[in-house]
Amino acid sequence: MSFLSATGMTGGYGGTDIIHDCTITVEKGEIAVVVGPNGAGKSTAMKAVFGMLNLRKGSVTLDGKDITNLAPQDRVPQGMGFVPQNRNVFVSLTVEENLEMGAFIRTDDKIEDTKEQIFSLFPILAEKRNQPAGELSGGQRQQVAVGRALMTQPKLLMLDEPTAGVSPIVMDELFDKIVEVAKTGVAILMVEQNARQALEIADHGFVLVQGRNRFTDTGEALLANEEVRRSFLGG
Amino acid sequence: MTKRVALLYGLMCLVLIVIGFLQSWNVAFGIFNLCLISAVMALGVNMQWGYAGLFNVGVMGFTALGGLTAVLVSMPPVGQAWSVAGGDIALSVLSLAGTIVAVIYARKVVPPVLKLPVTLVLMLAGYFVIGIFFGPATDAIESIDPALSGYLGGAGLPVVLAWPLAGLVAAGAGWLIGRIALGLRADYLAIATLGISEIIIAVIKYEEWLSRGVKNVTGIPRPVPYEVNLIESEWFINLANFFGAAELSDAASLFVKLCYAVLFVIVLAIIMWFAERALKSPWGRMMRAIRDNRDAAAAMGKDVKRRHLQTFVLGCAVCGIAGAMLTTLDGQLTPTSYIPLRYTFLIWVMVILGGSGNNWGAILGGFIIWFLWVEAEPFGNWFMATVTAPLGEDSGLADHLVSGAAYMRYLMMGAILLVVMRFAPKGLIPEQTGGSAASRSS
Amino acid sequence: MEILNALALFTNFVVVPATAYGAQLALGALGVTLIFGILRFANFAHGELMSFGTMITILVTWFLQNMGVSIAPFPTALLALPIGVLAAVSMALLMDRSVFRFYRKQRSNPIVFAIVSVGVMFLLAGIIRIVIGPADQSFADGERFIIGAFDSRRALGLDEGIAIKQSQVITVVVTAIVVAWLFWFLQKTRSGKAMRAYSDDEDLALLSGINPERVVMICWIIAAALATIAGTLYGLDKTYKPFIFLQILLPIFAATILGGIGQPIGAILGAFIVAFSEVVVTYAFKKFLAYLGPTDWAPDGLVQLLSTDYKFAVSFIILVAVLLIRPTGIIRGKVI
């Protein structure tokens, strides 16, 4: 069984289901990317993995443990870190305080070390550590958001469209950082609008259409797949 | 649904009839009249809260404005005051008008940066100029026979005329405050209305030339006969004999109360008719649509702020009418009696208990809560006396608690509000919904 | 010399009382702004909570006075204050558990919370009036003046003295200590930072593992403690009247909105602006101007902008100005 395995997820917000029998898996140290057209249920699938959606069917296991019925906040101590798409930093808190809040549930004394690791991963944050996060640029905010999530030392990091609204240069930079994070052994699950670039760094890709798995393969294979390219990557 | 309404109204009537038999018909009709006025106030608040979801914490102010209007319309003018200070008053009004014109003109011509400072300077200057004429005028007015008048008096018109006028005055005040506070956070309106009501009370309390302030205006002319005249009229004596009244003076005061009741029922019926028509009209449906989903309504091109302002002003007008009716019934204006717990928050308990958004509910709430408010006092006394009985006759604590018994009614109102909000947020007579309002988050 | 006299006069009648009043308002406004920031509603019961805590303090003060306990020259009320704080905190937590928590779980509209707080206001108002009655109560003892008008006149060699009441000094000192502690708490401690984070973004705070119930609890504890301290200081400085606490809501709300909702620094700033405006606008400048003008000259009128009867009109005008010009307040607060 995979490190994260969300299998057969079916559910939605109101009466109607948005995702149907959807399966997403990630291995340790790997990057998995969920792509698909608008309204395909990408973000919904991600939220379902994190427990922000009531599932009618299906199960979610992390490291072999069934977490299907845990509330989102209870999944954090289990080793899940989540970076929402919007409102993902505490705007009036400083960068450093944002990171400290990320480590709120930790009781060990290694918090400072993790913070230094994050500062070395995102040097710009070290520079702006005493500035309120609300004053940073979009790309820097995303770094704060990722940093905040990493402070819990998650075994699985989930990112909901981390590159939404940032420039292509910043996007490349962010993707580089994400690859670096993955190299430390963290499993990464990411929903992306910029499908091509995301699949380039992905070990596994999941193409969702109308809430169902359409293609599942390695990132490389998906990029090479003629149909995927034509339908979802713009040729 | 209608069965429930009939049942609840029937029960309320029955309770009043029981009071009539047990205590006296005078007491019953005394309560009934105030119930009617409370019902009008509750209708006003229900328009704001029930139709539009606006939290008005200044009901007291609009009620008091209504009361002031009743005085200004019905009391005889004090000729001497006008002859002494009329000139200065006229000059004050002129200076006020001049200031307003100057401010408006200046705001048009000066560059935007200077707008605020220039406005402030002009307003300050105007304030002082008005003060030059106004100070002596008020002193002169207030020194005329202070024990009896000491104010300008009113217009000497029939007091019933004050009721619609009170609606207009309160609507004007509501329009001003609504313009400022609507369209912002919902709680800003609450705080702003809390403020304006305190200021209105302060004006009535301290502007003696206008309202005699804490010296109170008494003897406001009635729209109904006086008891002293009744007991001397032949037709009334015959009438009383016909009904077999034991005490003529009791019968007279009951007759007066009945007359008031008839007037109030007419007013309540008219307002109710309009309120129901409005609620069932396309306008009412739109109001509820805005209340239930403001963003969606705005997206459909509804001018939310404008609609809110309309409803708010209408609700204030109704509260003003009720205030004028109350002052008419009392026959006096006592500014110190206006306290927010009684005139603002109590009305809220009425609306919440009766059923937000339902006019029949608001009226029922007005009846029940007023009845409980009045009857809570004897009940509180009895309760405290019973509870403290074991403490013995001369216990200081017992005396203290019994003297505080009147405030049991606050506890009761708090408990009612909290219990209804928690367990029956739709109230006794829930709003009739087309489905959409059911999704309201409360 | 004349200028110095004018300044002394101004200090005595405006600066000193306004500072004390501002400090009292600041403590109240801090509580309201914290509740606004964390629980996201306008707490109409806050005035009555102040009143409740103060009432308990007064009862304990009377008890201590009867027992002959005294910390002269300081007022006995300071000794009783911790018990008043404890009582108000317990009451606030009780009300939260039994009333507000239900609506929090439902994620109710802020207006629903505000209406419910009116219910709590009724309850507290009833309890207070039954227990201590609706009349004025005096409980101040100890030294009345730190610097008397007469002494200061002699010391300064002026015609005008500056009298400073002990209650005013205690107010300012206590407020300074409490505010310093509060800012230290909010800026430096884990719980304080969690409160700020929660005020910023509830959902993200939840994702970070911050326990909302704990944050709310700390918020009530602080707000109730500040309310009791503010009420007691106000009572020592002026007098304790149950009905005043509904009226004092207005300047407190004005200060909160002026400062920016959910902004502690803003609340303090707002409180002092409201207090100084109120005192300056209602102060009669006649004597002050007489000192500054030519000898043997005095203005005709009192030169008072507004009669003291209208002092809450000042808060209201400030409120209206803020709503018209900058609804977010001085320090950008939460608007929607």
Q: Which residue has the higher pLDDT, B388 or C163?
A: C163
Which site among A88, A90, A135 would you substitute to test the C interface, given the most C Cβ atoms closer than 10 Å to its Cβ? A90
Question: How high does pLDDT run on average in chain C?
Answer: 90
Residues near C15 by beta carbon (within 8 Å), at least 6 away in sequence = none
pLDDT value of residue A235: 60
Of the listed ranges B197-206, B295-304, C80-89, C185-194, the least confidently predicted one is B295-304
pLDDT value of residue B442: 38
CB spacing of C206 vs A72 below 8 angstroms:
yes
pLDDT value of residue C336: 39
Residue C66 CA to residue C144 CA, distance in Å, equals: 20
Provide the pLDDT confidence category of residue C290 given band limits of 50, 70 and 90: confident
Chains B, C: CB contacts within 8 A come to 147
The two structure tokens encoding residue C132 = 């201590």
Q: Is C210 an interface residue toward A (CB < 8 Å)?
A: yes
Q: Which residues of C142-178 are buried (b: 16+ CB within 10 A; e: fewer)?
A: beebbbeeeebbeeeebebbbbbbbbbebbbebbeeb
Provide the pLDDT confidence category of residue C180 given band limits of 50, 70 and 90: very high
Residues on chain B touching C319 (C-beta within 8 angstroms): 191-192, 195
Q: Which residue has the higher pLDDT, B77 or C272?
A: C272
The CA–CA distances, whole Å, from A68 to A6, A8, A11, A54, A60 equal 9, 12, 13, 9, 5
DSSP state string for C66-128: HHT--BTTB-THHHHHHHHHHHHHHHHHHHIIIIIHHHHHHT--HHHHHHHHHHHHHHHHHHH
The two structure tokens encoding residue B266 = 């007419």
The pair phi, psi for residue A65, each rounded to 5°, is: -105, 135
| pLDDT tens, residue order, chain B (442 aa) | 578 889 999 999 999 999 888 888 888 999 999 999 999 999 999 999 988 889 999 999 999 999 999 999 999 888 888 888 888 888 888 989 999 999 889 888 888 888 888 888 888 888 888 888 888 888 888 888 777 777 888 888 999 999 999 999 999 999 999 988 887 778 888 888 988 898 899 889 888 888 888 888 888 898 988 888 888 888 888 888 888 777 888 888 999 999 999 999 999 999 999 999 998 898 888 888 888 888 888 888 788 888 899 999 999 999 999 999 999 999 999 998 998 888 999 999 999 999 988 999 999 999 999 999 988 888 888 887 887 777 776 677 777 777 778 888 899 999 999 999 999 999 999 887 654 443 343 3
The pair phi, psi for residue C132, each rounded to 5°, is: -110, -10
The pair phi, psi for residue C193, each rounded to 5°, is: -65, -40
CB spacing of C129 vs B404 below 8 angstroms:
yes
Q: Is B172 helix (H, G, I), strand (E, B) or coil?
A: helix
Tally Cβ neighbours within 10 Å of residue A103: 22
In 3D space, the residue among B441, B439, B273 whose CA is nearest the CA of residue B360 turns out to be: B273
With CA atoms as reference, the chain C residue closest to A98 would be: C197
Nearest chain B Cα distance for residue C61, angstroms: 18
| Dihedral sign (CA B163, B169, B173, B175) | positive
pLDDT value of residue C128: 94
Verify B-C touch: 3 or more CB pairs within 8 A: yes
- DSSP type of residue A152: T
Q: Which residue has the higher pLDDT, C46 or A70?
A: C46
Residue C93 C-beta-side C-alpha neighbours within 13 Å: 14
CB spacing of C323 vs B180 below 8 angstroms:
yes
Residue-wise pLDDT tens digits, A178-215? 999 999 999 999 998 888 889 999 999 999 988 889 88
ipTM value, please give it: 0.90
Question: How high does pLDDT run on average in chain A?
Answer: 89
Q: Which residues of B250-280 are buried (b: 16+ CB within 10 A; e: fewer)?
A: ebbbbbbbeebbebbeebbeebbeebeebbe
| Sheet strands (E) in A27-179 | 31-35, 55-62, 65-66, 80-83, 156-160
In 3D space, the residue among C249, C229, C232, C333 whose CA is nearest the CA of residue C48 turns out to be: C249
In 3D space, the residue among C37, C30, C68 whose CA is nearest the CA of residue C195 turns out to be: C37
pLDDT value of residue B438: 38
In 3D space, the residue among C87, C96, C13, C28 whose CA is nearest the CA of residue C57 turns out to be: C87
CB spacing of C106 vs B422 below 8 angstroms:
no
CB spacing of A92 vs C210 below 8 angstroms:
no
In 3D space, the residue among C117, C48, C129 whose CA is nearest the CA of residue C88 turns out to be: C48
Residue C335 predicted with pLDDT over 70: no
Closest in C199, C204, C206 to A88, CB measured: C204
**Contact status, residue C17 vs residue C279, Cβ threshold 8 Å:** yes
In 3D space, the residue among B84, B13, B28, B113 whose CA is nearest the CA of residue B363 turns out to be: B13
Q: Which chains touch A (3 or more CB pairs under 8 A)?
A: C
pLDDT value of residue B437: 40
Q: Is B417 an interface residue toward C (CB < 8 Å)?
A: yes
Chains A, C: CB contacts within 8 A come to 55
**Contact status, residue B55 vs residue B347, Cβ threshold 8 Å:** no
pLDDT value of residue C286: 81
pLDDT value of residue C334: 59
Residue A153 CA to residue A141 CA, distance in Å, equals: 19
Residue-wise pLDDT tens digits, C299-332? 777 777 777 888 888 888 888 888 888 888 888 7
pLDDT value of residue B435: 42
Tally Cβ neighbours within 10 Å of residue B419: 12
Residue C53 identity: G
Instruction: Decide if domain C2-325 falls under CATH 3.40.1050.
Output: no
Tokens 């909000």, located at residue: B421
With CA atoms as reference, the chain B residue closest to C108 would be: B442
Instruction: Give the mean model confidence (pLDDT) for residues C113-129.
Output: 94
pLDDT value of residue B439: 39
Instruction: Give the mean model confidence (pLDDT) for residues A80-88.
Output: 88
Nearest chain A Cα distance for residue C194, angstroms: 7
Verify B-A touch: 3 or more CB pairs within 8 A: no
Residue B58 CA to residue B350 CA, distance in Å, equals: 15
Q: What are the beta bridge partners of residue A24? A: A6
Residue-wise pLDDT tens digits, A31-74? 999 998 888 888 889 989 998 888 888 999 999 899 988 888 88
Residues on chain C touching A105 (C-beta within 8 angstroms): 208-209
Q: Which domains does chain A have, with CATH numbers?
A: 1-79+154-235 (3.40.50.300), 87-153 (no CATH)
Domain-wise residue ranges, chain C: 2-325
Nearest chain A Cα distance for residue C315, angstroms: 28
Q: Is C208 an interface residue toward A (CB < 8 Å)?
A: yes
Of the listed ranges A112-121, B310-319, C214-223, the least confidently predicted one is A112-121
- Report the phi/psi class of residue B67: left, alpha or beta, with left for phi > 0 and alpha for psi in -120 to 50: alpha
Residue B288 CA to residue B54 CA, distance in Å, equals: 12
DSSP state string for B256-288: HHHHHHHHHHHHHHHHHHHHHHHHHSHHHHHHH
Residue B63 CA to residue B327 CA, distance in Å, equals: 9
Residues near B375 by beta carbon (within 8 Å), at least 6 away in sequence = none
Q: Which of A16-20, B404-408, C167-171 has the highest mean pLDDT?
A: C167-171
Q: Is A148 helix (H, G, I), strand (E, B) or coil?
A: helix
